């Protein structure tokens, strides 16, 4: 079960955190993994891990917010069976703490970056007779989180792009779903804690861990396991759905 043997998988932001865990697991399950990364050396280290484990992988230096770069990379890959839109950036702040530059920065990566890869990959999948797309949304896609104005805006768009693509391309044998994690312990979380709460890192880490009723953050590998299921043939009846993976955050925080 859950074999990706013979499949070509594209993972954006596969050099760190959740994207790295997904890339490594997909490689282990037999996919040829293409990592699109802004940080090419981080992507290279994921590739080395996959190859050392006997898999096949390649990194492509690429900024997902740049449409020309994304199109060029996807055209060079040729066939894509699985696309995981994972690259994303954080922003902490309410509306009043989000100036136009910050808003645009988050929009360009988290919204336009997803659009760019979808725009490049969907025609390739159509021509190949189908494929699977998985987008990294967030609990912020569907509930109000404090101080996450721009981030929530971007992840709401990821959820609705997922539904739109799932609807329009169901006839082309393309499945499209998204995953909504609560906090996952990755450099992304460590980075925004360090940037926004200097000197209070430990306190904030504990506080953010406790907001999951399960009492901790997720591990990237736990999110990767759900990603594998949704991208495998075993999930062939699943499309147009958002999967929370949240330690009880959405339903049990009352
Ligand atoms: N960590 C969490 O708590 C959490 C929770 C919910 C959703 N998410 C989402 O999961 C995804 C991955 O998060 P993570 O925690 O693994 O983050 P991370 O910061 O550990 O990794 C993100 C990777 O994306 C790459 N990246 C950033 N901008 C890019 C760009 N413009 N082009 C190409 N690559 C780029 C980075 O270089 C990095 O390697 C993001 O979309 C994030 O919003 C994370």
**pLDDT given for residue 49 in this prediction:** 98
Which token pair is 105? 């920065």
pLDDT exceeds 90 at position 107: yes
Answer whether 158's CB lies under 8 Å from 115's CB: no
The helix (H) or strand (E) run that includes residue 242 is: strand 242-245
Give one word for 142, left, alpha or beta, with left for phi > 0 and alpha for psi -120 to 50.
alpha
**Mean confidence (pLDDT) of the chain:** 97
Closest C-alpha residue for ligand 1 atom 40: 88
Distance of CA 217 to the CA centre of its chain: 17
Report CA(16)–ligand 1 centroid distance (Å): 7
Domains in the chain, start-ordered, CATH in brackets? 8-182+218-245 (3.40.50.720)
pLDDT exceeds 90 at position 254: no
Taking Cα atoms as reference points, which of 11, 28, 29 lies closest to residue 20?
11
Under the banding of pLDDT at 50, 70 and 90, the label for residue 192 is confident
State whether the beta carbon of 21 lies less than 6 angstroms from ligand 1: no
Q: What is the pLDDT averaged over residues 10-21?
A: 98
Q: What is the pLDDT averaged over residues 146-175?
A: 98
Taking Cα atoms as reference points, which of 128, 24, 15, 47 lies closest to residue 80?
128
The contacts of residue 202 (CB under 8 Å, 6+ apart) are none
The helix (H) or strand (E) run that includes residue 245 is: strand 242-245
Percentage of the chain exceeding pLDDT 90: 98
pLDDT exceeds 90 at position 155: yes
- Give the pTM: 0.98
Under the banding of pLDDT at 50, 70 and 90, the label for residue 227 is very high
State whether the beta carbon of 43 lies less than 6 angstroms from ligand 1: no
State whether the beta carbon of 89 lies less than 6 angstroms from ligand 1: yes
- Given 107, 115, 119, 151, which residue is catalytic? 151
Answer whether 121's CB lies under 8 Å from 131's CB: yes
Burial 93-119 (b: 16+ CB within 10 A, else e): beeeebeeeebebbbbbbbbbbbbbbe
Q: Where are the beta strands (DSSP E) in 29-166?
A: 32-37, 56-61, 82-85, 131-136
151 is catalytic: yes
**pLDDT given for residue 173 in this prediction:** 98
């Amino acid at each position: 079960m859950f074999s990706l043997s013979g499949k070509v998988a594209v993972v954006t932001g596969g050099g760190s955190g959740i994207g790295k865990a997904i890339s490594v697991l997909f490689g282990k399950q037999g996919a040829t993994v293409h990592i699109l990364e802004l940080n090419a050396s981080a992507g290279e280290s994921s590739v080395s891990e996959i190859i050392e484990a006997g898999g096949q992988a390649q990194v492509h230096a690429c900024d997902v917010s740049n449409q020309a770069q994304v199109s060029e990379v996807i055209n060079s890959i040729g066939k894509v069976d699985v696309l995981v839109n994972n690259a994303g950036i954080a922003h902490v702040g309410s509306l009043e703490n989000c100036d136009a530059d910050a808003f645009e920065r988050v929009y360009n990566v988290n919204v336009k970056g997803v659009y760019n890869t979808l725009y490049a990959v969907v025609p390739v999948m159509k021509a190949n007779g189908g494929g699977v797309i998985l987008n990294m949304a967030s609990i912020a896609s569907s509930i109000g989180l404090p101080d996450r104005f721009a981030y929530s805006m971007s992840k709401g768009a990821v959820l609705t792009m997922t539904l739109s693509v799932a609807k329009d391309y169901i006839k082309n044998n393309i499945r499209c779903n998204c995953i909504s994690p609560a906090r996952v312990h990755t450099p992304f979380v460590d980075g925004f804690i360090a940037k926004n709460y200097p000197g209070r890192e430990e306190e904030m880490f504990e506080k953010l861990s406790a907001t999951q009723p399960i009492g901790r953050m997720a591990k990237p590998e736990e999110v990767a396991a759900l990603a594998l299921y949704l991208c495998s043939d075993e999930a062939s009846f699943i499309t147009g759905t958002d999967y929370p993976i949240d330690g009880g955050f959405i339903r049990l925080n009352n």
